[in-house]
Structures are given as C-alpha cells and as structure tokens.
Structure 1
Amino acid sequence: MELDLTWILLGLPTAFALGWIASRLDLRQMRIANRQAPRAYFKGLNHLLNEQQDQAIDAFIEAVQNDPDTSELHFALGNLFRRRGEYDRAVRVHEHLLSRADISQADRQRAQHGLALDYLKAGLLDRAEEALRKLEGTSYAGQARLARMAIYERSREWPEAAAVARLLEKSGEADFGVRLAHYQCEQAREAVQKGDSAKALEILAQTLQEHPRAARPRLLIGQLQLSQGQASAAYDSLSILFEHNDMTAPLAAASFAQAALASDKAASASTLLQAHYQRQPCIDVLDAITILETQNPPGSTQGEAATLQRYLDHLQNHPSMLAATRWLNGAQNEVGELPASVKKTLENATKPLARYRCAACGFEAKEHFWHCPGCQSWDSYPPRRVEEL
C-alpha cells in the first residue's frame, strides 16, 4: 500500500510536468505557424506587386497550407489561377469554398461569382450560365445578368438576351432600348435567311413601333422591300433616313438610289442625297448621286460629265483614293483606256480603304457590322469607309 501511494505521489507531479511541457510545445507550434502564415502571405503579396505570378501562387499555397481556414487566401489563389488561364485549378478553389459550411453568406456568394467567372473565361458557357443564374437575388445579380446577356449574344440566342435586357432595364441598371432593337433586327435577319420574309417584316415593323428612332430596322425594311420588288415602299422607308440626316444614312445610299430609279423618283431622291452630301460629304452618298445622274436617262452624256465633275469637286475638298479611282474609271474618253495593270493596282490599293473599321478593337471588314465579330461591341462601326475616318 505504501508502494502504491509512493507511485501516486510521484506520478501526479510527473503528469503535470509533462502536460505543461506539451502545452508549451503546442503554443510554440502555434506561434511558429502564425508567424509563417503572415510571412508567406506578405511574400505572395510582394511577388504579386512585382507581377511575379508564379512566385505569388507558390507563396499563397504555402500560406493556405499553414492556415487552411482563411477564405481570403483561397479567393486570392482562385483569382490568380484564373488570370493565368489555369481555369481547372481556379474552379477547384471556388468549389472548395462553396463546399465549406463555415463561411459567411457573403463569401459564399463571392465564391459563386468567382466560379461563374472561371467557367466564363474557360469558354464553358453552359456551366457559366448555370452558375450565373444562382446569383439572382444577390448583390452580384446585376453583374450576373450582364454576363448572361453577353453569353446569349455570343450564342445568338436573341429572345433570351432580350429577356435579360428587360430585367436589367426594370432594375434600373441602364437603358437597353437600342440593344433590344438590335436583338429584334437579328431575329428578322434570321427569318429572312430561312425564307420567311413576312415574319421578318412583322418583326421589323414591331421594332419600329417600339423604337421609332432606331435606324437599323428602317434600313432593313427598305432593303427587304426593294428585294421583293416594292420599290416605291422601299423609297418611302429609306427616304426618312436622309430627311432626318441620320448618321447611318450612307449605308442606305445605294439601295435608296436603286429604289428611286425603279419607282421613277430619281429627281426627288437626287435632291435628298445632294442635301445630305452638303451636310455630311461621303463617298457612298456621292456614288448614289452619280448613279442617279448617269442612269436617268440611261447613258446620258450630260450625266456622265456631271459625274466626273462631282468627283473632281470632292477631291478638291476631300482627297480620296476612292474618288480618284472612280474619276479615272469614268474619264476614259479624256485620259484614254487605262492599262489592265494600272486598273489592278488601283483596285488593290483601294480595297483596304473601302473597308469598315471597328472603333473599339480595330477589326476591319468589307461590310458594315452592327455587332462587331471581334470584340462583340454594338454600334462600334462608323457608317463610313476607313479612308473617311
């Protein structure tokens, strides 16, 4: 009994001492970890400021390993992975955050937004759309709707894009009236491609009713009417663009001249075109004027002389390779027949000048685009040729 008591008396202090030593070791480890985490964090921040993303990622990974419960480090890592194009790693980081039950609602929404951006940048539009839908009713709802609208535009889902645009308008984000008009015009174009001109005209008429100041639906209506042999109706539709001095009128100049000739309204059309040219000199409008002068009556010598003089007058005030080439082509009686090599050289030289250029990204094209195929911007193409910009 005395032996047992002795062991008890010896064991209690020993156990206390061992417990104290263990606690000190734990405290020491915690202090070391706490020192290492900030050190790794600041190291990563320093690399990030120096634009050394590889080193920054390594430092943040080390910081996360030392303090796995810190959500801010996970967000930093996810953003870095996405910026580097490592979308699979960024997705894993944000999915890990969403799987945690200990993060706040604000951080959960932030992680959901980050996951949607990961999918969007990776080009996984279906997954991005699904992730963005989950942000409805959150502080990221406006951004999510704009991103969804961009997705629908890229995939040419115009009714869905219009629905989101109306939601944004209703929430007071901005006025999307012009964008909605474009969506309807795109649907009309698709109807024409499918051979349903009646549906296209119905859509465009509704668009004009809802957006009476929009120029594109009026232009499309006129061109569609002209293609269906309704020259007089096309003249009436397109003439409004010139009467209102619309900036996009030069895009309709050639169609307007054809409609005027077909409906015996060349004189009034020429008056409108000349008035517009005086306000906004433009090679497309000048070409339309010369078409009316040379073809009404056809082969008129007086008309051809007036045409040549118009191009010379244009050149005096607006030096233009396009105008000079047109003058040379029409002045063969005065300068003689141009050699084929000269014609080919002039044609090659003027081709780039006759293109249209996006003001947002510089993408050039032979035809005018309302929606830039390069940067996806709307109304970024000026209705003038590259030479006239």
Structure 2
Amino acid sequence: MEFDLSWVLLGLPLAFVLGWLASRLDLRQIRLENRQAPKAYFKGLNFLLNEQQDQAIDAFIEAVQSDPDTSELHFALGNLFRRRGEYERAVRVHQHLLSRADISQADRHRAQHALALDFLKAGLLDHAEAALLKLEGTTFEAQARLALLANYERSRDWPQAALMAEKLEHAGQGSLTPRLAHYLCEQAVGQVAQGQFEAGRELLQRAITKAPDAARARLDLAQLQVQLGQETPAWDTLMQALDSAPAAVPLIARPLADLALRSGHTAVSLARLQQLYAEQASLDVLEAIVTLSDADPAAQTSARDWYAHHLEKEPSLVAATRWIAGEKLEHEQFHPQVQRALDHAIKPLLRYRCAACGFEATQHFWQCPGCQTWDSYPARRVEEL
C-alpha cells in the first residue's frame, strides 16, 4: 500500500489550527483566573487601606476561595481576624495552613508563630506556651522567647520567667539582670506571704548580689526586717541603699525617716538626708527631713522653714501648700476652705508617671500596670518631672 503524502499535507495545517485553538483557550482561561484573583486581592487591599476591615475580610475570603493554595492570602486573612478580635477564626486559618503538606518550612514556622500570637491575644496562655515552645530552633526563636517571657510574667510564673530571661541573655538579647533581680524579689514576696521568712530573705540577698545598684531588693529586705522586729538592721539596710541606688533616694527617704525615729538614729539620718537634699532637691526627701526635724530638738531649721527654703530653690505648689498649712492668714476664718482647695489641687502633682506609657498612679510601681514595662516609673513625683 502506497503512502499518500496528500494526507500529510492536509493534516499538518489541521493540527496547527487545532493546537493554536487549544492554546488560545488555555490562555483565555489563565487570563480570566489571573484577572479574577488579583481583582479580589486588590479590592481587599483597598478596603484595608480605607480601614474597612469587614469588606476587606470578605474580599480576601473571595480571593482565597479562587486560589486556595495562596498562603500569603491566608496570612493576611488570619492577621485581619486577629486585629478584629476574631481569634477563633484566626486560629482556624493558621491551623489550616499548618495542616497543609505543600507549604514551605519557612511558611510553616511563620504559621506556627501566627497561631501562637492568636492564642496570646485570646488570653489562652497554656495554648500559647505550647505553640511558642515549638518555635525553638527556628528563625522565630528570639521572638518566641520574648513572647514566652511576657507570658510567664502575665501568669506570674517567676521561676520560668527567670529561666527564659537567662536564655535570652545568653543568646545575646541584651542584659536582663535588673529584670532577673525583680523576679527574685517577686518570689520573695510570695515566700514571705506564706510565712517562709528565711526563704524570702535568701531570695532577696540573691537579688542584691545580682543587681547591687538596684533599690528594690534592699527596700523589700528592710520591710522584711521590720516585720521580724529587726529595726536597726532594717535602718542599716536603707542607709546602704542610699549609697548603692542614688536615683532611688526619694523612695528610700520616707521609710528611712520612720525607721530612724523608731530605732533612735534621728540625728544621723537627718544629717545624711540634708546632705542628699543639698545635692538634689526632692519633695520626698524634703518631707522626710521635715519629719525628722520635728522630732529632733537639736535641729536648727523648723519644718515650715524647710518648705520656704525649698520654694527659694524651685517653684512648687506642693511645698507652698505645706507651708500655708501652718501659716496664719489675714482672714483666718477662710483658711480651712483655702487649704482644702490647695490639697485637692496638688493631688495630681503627687502622683508617679510611667515614662513608657504615661500611666499615672498614687504609688510607685516597679512594673507599670498599664504597659507592663519594668522600672519605667521615675522615683520623683509628677511635679518634679
């Protein structure tokens, strides 16, 4: 049977036409899919930039449904859910990513980190801890350890917080020695509350050794010594604190004055506080000096004169109010009303203010209740800042 070349000549153009038509159909399908997916994506991005999060979520869900293999859209969607407080939906998105076998190892670690953040925001600290521990040895290790440290602080698990802080310090994440000293002090508070006074004392001594220039450990130790009836050793502890932590002198001055009166060290304490006040004037040091001056017959300056002396150095509504309290006015019958008004006016000036977030409080905190930052409260009052 002879081979007919005419069929070949007819078949080649036909095959070409069919191939061209098939390619055009594929290209049209690809273009259609590419137009649909970016359209939903950019629509979601536009909503997000206009802070229309509900519409952005709907657009991203549409984009994910069009292309379920796009991990970046899943991450964007999960982050949006977390920002809106829809933590359960954020968890489902990130758990879905982790269940997929086709994502890269980097994306898997990223999804694990995002899942841990979901649990942290939702307040599920146990789940967050388990998720963060899985990030050991990954590129998110440092971030995970910092989150674990904050997690342990929130749950007041001070031994675990100390272990994590030491890991971070050894990894070159900066010096966490002051924070480690705080953890020891927090543990000591717990021991003392349970009546374990010797264990509390040992923890405070370790805190002093770890951070000798920090004031808290010595202040807590003095308080424990007072609780045990050891007033003279407590006074000695506070006198040492004046030298080791000069920035905290305003916090030390008042308890030192009280102990000086009870232990018979009035003159020595008064002389030391006067020296410190001359170096740097402070309202709390001034109040301590006034307290000791009233109790010391040999004191050369009266309490009211100290307030006047402070006003010569710097303007102070607090000092002026204290001075007027003992002054005879021309219309003395109005003195109580004037005094009440002044006492009310100075209350905000006597607060402490966090240098990190601005949270104000009537008492000094070692860790800000607002932003959880350690040592963010200056020892000086608002009026002195």
Cα gap change, 1:256/1:85 in structure 2, threshold over 3 Å: closer, same or farther? Answer: same
1:103 equivalenced with 2:99 (yes/no):
no
Distance in 2 of aligned mates of 1:210 and 1:245: 14
How far does residue 66 in structure 1 lie from its aligned partner after superposition? 1.4
1:55 equivalenced with 2:55 (yes/no):
yes
Identity %: 59
Cα gap change, 1:292/1:336 in structure 2, threshold over 3 Å: closer, same or farther? Answer: farther
Q: Give the gaps of 5 or more residues in structure 1.
A: 1-16
How far does residue 20 in structure 1 lie from its aligned partner after superposition? 9.7
Distance in 1 of aligned mates of 2:329 and 2:38: 85
How far does residue 19 in structure 1 lie from its aligned partner after superposition? 11
Structure 1 segment 233-312 matched on structure 2, within 5 A:
233-244=233-244, 246-297=246-297, 306-312=302-308
Which AA in structure 2 matches 1:94? H
Cα gap change, 1:318/1:223 in structure 2, threshold over 3 Å: closer, same or farther? Answer: farther
Q: Is the 8 A contact 2:253 2:284 kept in 1?
A: yes
Equivalent position SS for 1:136: coil
Structure 1 segment 89-128 matched on structure 2, within 5 A:
89-128=89-128
Q: Is the 8 A contact 2:356 2:373 kept in 1?
A: yes
User: 2:164 matched to which residue of 1?
Assistant: 164
Equivalent position SS for 2:302: helix
User: 1:323 matched to which residue of 2?
Assistant: 319
How far does residue 174 in structure 1 lie from its aligned partner after superposition? 1.4
1:195 equivalenced with 2:195 (yes/no):
yes
Q: Is the 8 A contact 2:215 2:245 kept in 1?
A: no
Distance in 2 of aligned mates of 1:326 and 1:229: 33
Aligned residues: 371
Equivalent residue in structure 1 for 2:355, among 353, 356, 359:
359
User: 1:43 matched to which residue of 2?
Assistant: 43
User: 2:232 matched to which residue of 1?
Assistant: 232
Distance in 2 of aligned mates of 1:213 and 1:353: 28
How far does residue 226 in structure 1 lie from its aligned partner after superposition? 2.8
The one-character-per-residue Cα deviations of 1:151-188 (angstroms, maximum 9, x if unpaired) are 11111111111111011111111111000001111111
Structure 1 segment 322-341 matched on structure 2, within 5 A:
322-331=318-327, 339-341=335-337
**Greater CA drift, 81-90 or 96-105:** 81-90
The one-character-per-residue Cα deviations of 1:211-240 (angstroms, maximum 9, x if unpaired) are 222221012112222333322212211112
Structure 1 segment 74-223 matched on structure 2, within 5 A:
74-223=74-223
Distance in 1 of aligned mates of 2:61 and 2:216: 53
User: 1:68 matched to which residue of 2?
Assistant: 68
Q: Is the 8 A contact 1:165 1:180 kept in 2?
A: yes
Distance in 1 of aligned mates of 2:197 and 2:319: 36
Cα gap change, 1:107/1:29 in structure 2, threshold over 3 Å: closer, same or farther? Answer: same
| TM-score normalised by structure 1 residue count | 0.87
User: 1:388 matched to which residue of 2?
Assistant: 384
Distance in 2 of aligned mates of 1:146 and 1:20: 59
Aligned-residue CA RMSD (Å): 2.7
How far does residue 203 in structure 1 lie from its aligned partner after superposition? 0.9
Distance in 2 of aligned mates of 1:378 and 1:262: 32
The one-character-per-residue Cα deviations of 1:15-51 (angstroms, maximum 9, x if unpaired) are xx99998886565433311221122223323333343
User: 1:368 matched to which residue of 2?
Assistant: 364
How far does residue 58 in structure 1 lie from its aligned partner after superposition? 2.4
Cα gap change, 1:281/1:131 in structure 2, threshold over 3 Å: closer, same or farther? Answer: same
User: 2:343 matched to which residue of 1?
Assistant: 347
Q: Is the 8 A contact 2:215 2:244 kept in 1?
A: no
Which AA in structure 1 matches 2:156? R
Q: Is the 8 A contact 1:152 1:161 kept in 2?
A: yes
Which AA in structure 1 matches 2:367? H
Cα gap change, 1:259/1:45 in structure 2, threshold over 3 Å: closer, same or farther? Answer: same
Cα gap change, 1:210/1:243 in structure 2, threshold over 3 Å: closer, same or farther? Answer: closer
Distance in 2 of aligned mates of 1:151 and 1:370: 18
Q: Is the 8 A contact 2:188 2:201 kept in 1?
A: yes
User: 2:6 matched to which residue of 1?
Assistant: none
Cα gap change, 1:335/1:237 in structure 2, threshold over 3 Å: closer, same or farther? Answer: farther
**Greater CA drift, 235-244 or 360-369:** 235-244
Distance in 2 of aligned mates of 1:245 and 1:123: 37
Equivalent position SS for 2:172: coil
Q: Is the 8 A contact 1:145 1:164 kept in 2?
A: yes
User: 2:9 matched to which residue of 1?
Assistant: none
Q: Is the 8 A contact 2:152 2:158 kept in 1?
A: yes
How far does residue 312 in structure 1 lie from its aligned partner after superposition? 0.3
Q: Is the 8 A contact 2:359 2:370 kept in 1?
A: yes
Equivalent position SS for 1:247: helix
Equivalent position SS for 1:117: helix
**Greater CA drift, 198-207 or 38-47:** 38-47
Cα gap change, 1:125/1:207 in structure 2, threshold over 3 Å: closer, same or farther? Answer: same
